Amino acid sequence: MSARWWRCAVLALALASCTAAEPSIPVLSVAVTPVVDSLLPSATLQLTAVVRDANGRPLDDRTVSWSSSAPAIADVTANGLVTAVSPGLARVVASADGVTDTALITVLEPVASVRLASGADTIVPPQTVLLAAEVLDASGRLLSGRLVTWSTDRPDIATVGSTGVVQSVALGVATIRATVEGQWAEAAVTVAPILTVSPRLPTVFAGDTVALGVHASDLTGSALTVPPIAWGSADPAVATIGPDGVARGVAPGFVRVTARGGGAEANAVVAVLGPRMGVNREIGFLVQDLGGVSVLHAVLPDGSAESRLTDPGEHVSDYSWSPDGSRLAIGLVTVNGLGKHGAYLMTMGDSTVTPIPGAATDQSPTWSPDGALIVSLVTVSNAESNLYVFGADGGNRRRLTLQSGRHGFANWSPDSRRLAYVRFPDPASERTELWVVDADGTHEAQVPLPLETRNPRWSPDGKRIAFDNGNGIWAVNPDGSHLEPLSSSCTPTRTCTPGRVEEHAAWSPDGQRIAYREDFFVVLRAVGGTEIARVPSRTCCFDVRPEWSPDGALVAFSSPQLVGTPWPGVYVMGADGSGPRFVTGSQNAGFHRWRP
């Protein structure tokens, strides 16, 4: 062989030796993206795998193989394309030179339906409500972790956030939709006002009408536009109500009326009162003896059949007839250490008095018109006195007046649901306020008035309260509206004749006339009209207290001695002021009240 051949052979072997000895770069990691994902059946997902060496450089020349731990759940192709097959969990593995990484693929149960749940389907501005979307599979099982998309068809009425919180904007109805993977559910949310019926406790005579109104407000009390209202009566046999909110009394009783509108409703219970007129019976009155003890008597309106009702040793400070006239509630006061003290009951024809349990310190007991309750006065000190109400047996006793100061002159509304009374807030003065309270002790409120208040008297239909301020007779609605003078000495601008004394207004049974004391006279006057009569009572300083008879044909009043009468006592005259006659045979008689 030639030297040239050997040289070439050696060079070839050297080159071959160099090529075979060059080492391969090892794979350090394989990174699959995404690592975790969820798919619905039949959906696909392209996975990628990046192969890197120890320096983090990609090794693009390496072959990646793909496999699935559960091809029946999620299958994968040779290039990493995953296809969801059925619900479950599969691990898809990417491998290069023995190094692997795994992607967790969850195949979701398909959403079959969406259900909405909420705490309320009606909200009041500016209220919100949270809607909850429940996602269900075909078997009705709850599915979690699904994205819910919320929408509203009326964002001008209610908006909805990404968490399902609905915010009220304006009155109306908005449809809120929750969408999940092509399935959706809807809920109608009503943005409604708070409705309030006024008057709160309406009253009306059978055959008469009372107009009801509706006020709309939001949760803050701000007024809203009143929506169209539909009225209804629970019992048209007691009272009907028209589309204009005018209720007509049909028969005595109580009936619930309902106002509906704007997705809201409000109720009021209308009291339909019984007949206006009653039958005249005796007149009760007190006779005071020389020792200062007042004994209760009674006499017929013509002055006959006068009789003593209580024992002469008991001092009667006040009394009231039960609505049926069969019993009396009497306040007794100990005089000079003698006699009983507290509130008692007595049956007509029997002078025995029975103490009312729990009323040992009570005075001025007064029956409610329905006969179920009695209100009384308890004096704590010169600076404090309070009204209490209880059953005729003394049960369910509760304090009505919760304000400080003195209280008195309690007068029942004709439906027995409320009382009007006078409050003296300042112990150092005689300043007065008019208040009303429900018989159960709720809704105690001052009637806003620019005047002093004494001797409140509800009108027979329960719509107005008459009172005096010492030199004028006035009437006002229980809420303080529509204040007007009933006597001629005062004007609507609240200017009254200086020095004139007007007090103790009494409504006629039909509510069309009033009687009151004016200086030296008993005045009879049409409500809102002219004077009917003016009868002398001979003094400005005697407690005249005119009272109408149950049938409205007579008026009783107390007066010192008139011409031709032997002593001060009780007089009865016609409703036109005619023929005043002396009816009491006992001396020093007064404080009269007709027996129902």
Q: Name the band, by pLDDT with cuts 50, 70 and 90, for residue 495.
A: confident
Could you confirm whether domain 113-191 is CATH 3.20.20.10?
Answer: no
Q: Which residue has the higher pLDDT, 145 or 21?
A: 145
Q: What is the mean pLDDT of residues 25-41?
A: 93
Per-residue pLDDT reduced to its tens digit, 68-94: 999 999 999 999 999 999 999 999 999
Q: Which of 448, 450, 445, 460 is nearest to 414 (CA)?
A: 460
Is residue 8 over pLDDT 60? no
* CA 398 and chain centroid, separation: 21
In this predicted structure, what is the pLDDT of residue 538? 65
pLDDT for 491: 86
Parts of the chain belonging to CATH 2.60.40.1080: 27-107, 113-191, 195-273
Range in 301-310, 422-431, 558-567 with the lowest mean pLDDT: 558-567
Is residue 146 within 8 A of residue 181, CB to CB? The reply is yes
- Give pLDDT, residue 15: 45
Burial of residue 22 (CB within 10 Å: 0-12, 13-18, 19+) is exposed
- The whole-model pTM stands at 0.79
Give percent helix, percent strand, percent coil of the chain, each to the nearest 5: 5, 50, 45
CA torsion angle for 177, 179, 182, 185 (degrees, to 10)? -50
Closest CA to 558 of 549, 572, 573, 569: 569
Task: Write a three-state SS string for 59-110.
Answer: CCCCCCEEEECCCCCEEECCCCEEEECCCEEEEEEEEECCEEEEEEEEECCC
Give me the DSSP letters along 223-261.
B-PPPP-EEEES-TTTEEE-TTSEEEE-SSEEEEEEEEE
Residues 215-263: tens digit of each pLDDT:
999 999 999 998 899 999 999 999 999 999 999 999 999 999 999 999 9
Region 119-145: mean pLDDT is 92
Q: Which tens digit of pLDDT belongs to each residue from 303-348? A: 999 999 999 989 999 999 999 999 999 999 999 888 999 999 999 9
pLDDT of residue 542: 54
% of residues, the chain, pLDDT over 90: 79
- The alpha carbon torsion through 270, 271, 272, 275 (nearest 10 deg) reads -160
Tokens matching residue 230: 């539909």
Q: Is the pLDDT of residue 527 over 60?
A: yes
Q: How far is CA 56 from CA 23, 41, 52, in A?
A: 18, 36, 5
504 and 455 in contact (C-beta within 8 Å)?
yes
Q: Dihedrals φ, ψ of 247, to 5°? A: -95, 140
Please tell me the predicted confidence (pLDDT) of residue 585.
80
Position 543 scores a pLDDT of 63
Work out whether the CA dihedral 137, 143, 145, 148 comes out positive or negative.
positive
Average pLDDT of the chain, as a whole number: 91
Rounded-to-integer distance, Cα 332 and Cα 385, Å: 17
pLDDT over 80 (residue 589): yes
More confident site: 480 or 313: 480
pLDDT exceeds 50 at position 586: yes
- 459-482: burial string, b at 16+ Cβ within 10 Å, e else: bbbbbbbbbbbbbbbbbbebebee
Q: CA 387 to CA 394: how far, in whole Å?
A: 14
Centre a 10 Å sphere on the Cβ of residue 120 and count the other Cβ atoms it contains: 12
Give the lowest-confidence range in 69-83, 117-131, 188-202.
Answer: 117-131
Question: 490 falls in which pLDDT band (50, 70, 90)?
Answer: confident
> Given this structure, which CATH class describes domain 27-107?
mainly beta
The first and second tokens of residue 187, run together, are: 């809920």
| Confidence check: pLDDT of 1 > 90 | no
Domain boundaries 195-273, CATH class: mainly beta
Range scoring the smallest mean pLDDT among 52-66, 199-213, 558-572:
558-572
What pLDDT score was predicted for residue 561?
61
- Greatest alpha-carbon pair distance for the chain in Å reads 183
Strand partners, 363: 377
Over 90: is that where the pLDDT of 296 sits?
yes
CA distance linking residue 458 with residue 418, whole number of Å:
10
- Please check the confidence at residue 562 and state whether its pLDDT lies above 70: no
Q: What is the pLDDT of residue 4?
A: 53
Measured distance CA(571)–CA(568) in Å, rounded: 9
